[in-house]
Each structure stands twice: as structure tokens, then as C-alpha cells.
Amino acid sequence: MTSGLPSSTGDILTAATVNSLVQFTLNAQSGTTYTVANSDIYQVIVQATNASTKVITIAPDSTLTSAGVGTAITFLNSGAGLLTFAAGAGVTIVSAGATSAAPTLAQYKTAVAIRISANSWTIVGAIA
């Protein structure tokens, strides 16, 4: 994973480098389904914009090959409908929401999925 910081003796840390460390890229998803990809892992906010109910699937380790333990993926639901998180094949999702239901995210709420072990994610944030 690229950190953006100078990595060799003599490298110069510039203001532009520091400023870029706090910027996130928006991955706007306008459909009703989306499966998380490796490209969503570093400094990306997955933004769900569809006005209908949406499902975001957390893919298994065989797909998310760049996700190490501690990887965090950020989600923003800007669409009117609820966003529900679903587990891909072999994936376990744990959250503070109801244990018998998948975690959901209302409009203008955010959540973060954190990989805690192989194929195991905890979702925290403004979930129900």
C-alpha cells in the first residue's frame, strides 16, 4: 500500500504531499448493487447515490486481495433509500446493529467496514 510519504533518505516532504494525505477520492455508485473492490481500500469513500434501496456486498478475501487486517473501507449513503451491507461468499459481518439482520445505513449517514481477520469484517458508524 502506498503511503504517499517520502520513503528514502533525502526525499523531501512537501506541502502538496501532506495535503494529498487527507484527501479522499469519491467512488460514486449510482446503481442499486455494488461489490467492494480492491480500488475502494485506500483513501476512497464509496458513495451510494441511488434513491432506491441499495445493497453493498463485502467481497471475500479471494477478491479483496489487497485488504490486510486493519483495512478500513468508508461508505456514505447520499441516496434516499436505505443502504444494506451484505456478506459475500464465506464472509462474516459483525456490527452493532441487530444480530439477525444485516447492518443498514440511512441517507446522509456514514459507516466504515474494518477487516479484523480472514473474511471477517466489523462495520461501525451510523448503522441500524
Could you read off the pLDDT tens digit of each residue along the chain, which spans 128 residues? 445 555 566 667 777 776 666 778 899 999 999 999 999 998 899 999 999 999 999 999 999 999 999 999 999 999 999 999 999 999 999 887 555 568 899 999 999 999 999 999 999 988 87
Task: Give the start-to-end residue ranges of the domains of the chain.
Answer: 25-125
- CA angle 44-54-40, nearest 5°? 15
Domain 25-125, CATH 1.20.120 — does that match? no
Question: pTM of the predicted model, to two decimals?
Answer: 0.81
The type of residue at 36 is V
